[in-house]
Chains A and B, each alone.
Chain A
Amino acid sequence: MAKVFIYPATSLVLSDMVERWGHEPLGAAIAIRERIQTASLDSPPLQMTPEDPKKGLRWAAVEVPAGVRGRMALYGPMIEEADAAIIINDADLSFGCMGCSRTNELVMYLLRKRKDIPLLDIKYPTCEEEGIAFVASIKEFLAALGGGDDA
């Protein structure tokens, strides 16, 4: 079972397909759940504490806004942990966890900088033919990672 980072990190279709074919999707929910289930100072709504932007300094410089560094505290460890990554290039999700364009650029840069992991670049399908190509390319990519079992 490989750990596959998904971009957008909140994507339903990517999360589903990675899990469907026996691998572990690394998305925003995993990192958020870790914070929600850990006792600490009360910091609603996402339990992001002042410690998180400090952790984000590992991936972004100190002059970078705290919003970027805080988000990197969620995504950074998962990018380093990932065995593979799938990027949907035309994702236009500009809200919630994916609501920071600069963070999104940094996440894609860090994924592409990791030359040691396989990476799949795709776009959202706009018709049935593209839907088949979309699913087939993800299935082929995940099968090549090995170790997957159908969920």
Chain B
Amino acid sequence: MTQKMYAPSYVGTVTKYVFIDSPNVSPQTLAIRAYEISDGVMIKETCFGLQVTGKPDEVKMLIRELRKVDPAHIFVKDRGFPPGDPRRCRANLGGARPGYYGHEFESGILRYISRGLEETASGPVSVKKFEKKKLDEGKLPVEKLLEIIENEED
């Protein structure tokens, strides 16, 4: 069996998702701002925000400026593929790619995160610790497991 060689594109670039979940700023507004300051960075406007691709320093600079538009409602994440890659683009797959289900889930809690970012921006807040008991919620306690094992042995 012969295998084709793979020649990568966009080598040395980074791609980032920019999600906007704001009552005041739409993805279109954010895209216009991004075009204004893009300086050669490739920008793709999407329904949830943007995808930006470029050299790491240029992308970092762009993200830093974009965050200023609405700091508590803009969320940024790395992406492995460049935008429109035929292996991942939904135009070729015939449906949402797996990663979108994760984004969909986390989009539901972004309003709580935004609230947290707004509260913590002004200074430290007293942190209500996630107690051990809560982390173990729903799990089988060790004592109960031992009891079951002992009962089985009888």
Binding site for B on A (CB under 8 A): 8, 10-13, 15-17, 19-20, 25, 27-33, 35-47, 89, 92-93, 95-99, 121-137, 139-140, 151
- When distances are taken between beta carbons in the complex, the residues of chain A under 8 Å from B110 are 13
- A89 surroundings in chain B (CB, below 8 A): 135
Total A-B contacts with CB atoms under 8 angstroms apart: 159
CB pair B127–A136 under 8 Å, yes or no, is yes
Chain A min CB distance to B47 (Å): 15
Residue from the set B12, B77, B85, B103 with the largest chain A CB neighbour count within 10 Å: B77
Residue B34 is within 8 A (CB to CB) of chain A in the complex: no
Among residues of A, the one whose C-beta sits closest to the C-beta of B60 is A151
Q: 25 A-B Cβ contacts within 8 A?
A: A15-B77, A20-B67, A20-B76, A29-B79, A32-B80, A33-B15, A33-B78, A39-B6, A39-B7, A45-B88, A92-B105, A122-B130, A128-B112, A128-B115, A129-B128, A131-B111, A131-B114, A131-B116, A132-B116, A133-B116, A133-B127, A135-B120, A136-B120, A139-B120, A140-B124
Q: How far is the CB of A143 from chain B (nearest CB, A)?
A: 9
Q: Mark B9-25, 1 if CB is under 8 A from A, else 0.
A: 01111110101000000
* 17 extra A-B contacts, CB within 8 A, seeds A99-B98, A123-B134, A132-B116: A13-B110, A15-B77, A30-B78, A36-B82, A37-B8, A42-B3, A46-B80, A92-B105, A96-B99, A96-B101, A96-B102, A121-B130, A128-B111, A134-B116, A137-B129, A137-B130, A151-B63
Q: Which residues of B contact A136 (CB under 8 A)?
A: 116, 119-120, 124-125, 127
Contact check: which of A27, A28, A44, A135 meets B117 at CB < 8 Å?
A135
Q: Mark B87-112, 1 if CB is under 8 A from A, else 0.
A: 11000000001110111011101111
Task: State the Cβ distance, B108 to closest chain A Cβ, in Å.
Answer: 9
Which of A33, A126, A137 is within 8 Å of B127, CB to CB?
A137
Interface: B142 (CB within 8 A): no
Complex Cα–Cα for A38 and B12 (A): 10
| Residues of chain B with a CB closer than 8 A to A134's CB | 112-113, 116
B residues apposed to A, CB below 8 Å: 3-8, 10-15, 17, 19, 60, 63-64, 67, 75-82, 85, 87-88, 97-99, 101-103, 105-107, 109-117, 119-120, 124-125, 127-130, 134-135
| CB-based contact A32/B81 at 8 Å | yes
A15-B78, A133-B130, A140-B127 given; A38·B8 CB < 8 A: yes
When C-beta atoms are compared, the residue in chain B nearest to A19 turns out to be B76
Provide the bound-state CA to CA distance between A16 and B88, in Å. Answer: 22
- Minimum CB–CB distance for A85 against chain B, Å: 15
Least CB distance, A54 to chain B, in whole angstroms: 17
